[in-house]
Chains A and B, each alone.
Chain A
Amino acid sequence: GQQVMQIPQYQHVQEGEDFTTYCNSSTTLSNIQWYKQRPGGHPVFLIQLVKSGEVKKQKRLTFQFGEAKKNSSLHITATQTTDVGTYFCAGHPSGGSNYKLTFGKGTLLTVNP
């Protein structure tokens, strides 16, 4: 079955440093979604990428979807303590079910003030 892998599992940074998490799928995706889960909270949708090579920005967050639509990345510039949480990527398989999202295991980001 489809697998979505994320690296790293954990990342600890000093406030102001940049952060990147990478997502790789074993199969081609029709889209990739990113979620953020604050400690003790539930996942919250951040963004969806659909097109090959697509890049989207949300303030200090930059999301990329690979040309082959099998990988993605989330980059945070100048991290802040409010960025703390687990970042998940999730994708719908290309040509497959539109109902099920396959989630990566997430990257836990901690920020030292």
Chain B
Amino acid sequence: SQTIHQWPATLVQPVGSPLSLECTVEGTSNPNLYWYRQAAGRGLQLLFYSVGIGQISSEVPQNLSASRPQDRQFILSSKKLLLSDSGFYLCAWSVRTGSPREQFFGPGTRLTVL
């Protein structure tokens, strides 16, 4: 069966510090991968998605970046965190073809920037 891992589960970082969040998927090949941020208002904001190794699409201009060095690994990074980067970061995957193409979410990382 497929599983998705995210770490760390919680993170407290000072403003201006770097960030690296990692997501890995097991049990599937060639998944579409996604990074979302969920702020206190509960909505899911799509940050990045990837349809293959090295292929990253950015949805929202910001000081975050994403990389996909391996088929089932997706990394979210920042060189300098801002207070507004606080939130709940969710990684998700979906199959690339077929239906339903539901998204499977990881457990998330709660980031607090102080």
Contacts and interface: CB of A to CB of B under 8 A. Distances in A.
B99 A48 contact: yes
Contacts, number: 52
A96 to B, nearest CB: 13
A101 B100 CA distance: 12
Q: Which of A41, A43, A86, A90 has the most CB of B within 10 A?
A: A43
Q: Which of B43, B49, B59 has the most CB of A within 10 A?
A: B43
B87 interface: no
B90 A98 contact: no
Contacts of B42: 86, 105-106, 108
A21 interface: no
A78 interface: no
A88 B102 CA distance: 13
Given A88-B44, A99-B51, A105-B42, A42 B101 contact: no
A68 interface: no
Given A99-B49, A99-B51, A45 B43 contact: no
Interface of B: 32, 41-44, 46, 49, 51, 57, 59, 90, 94, 99-108
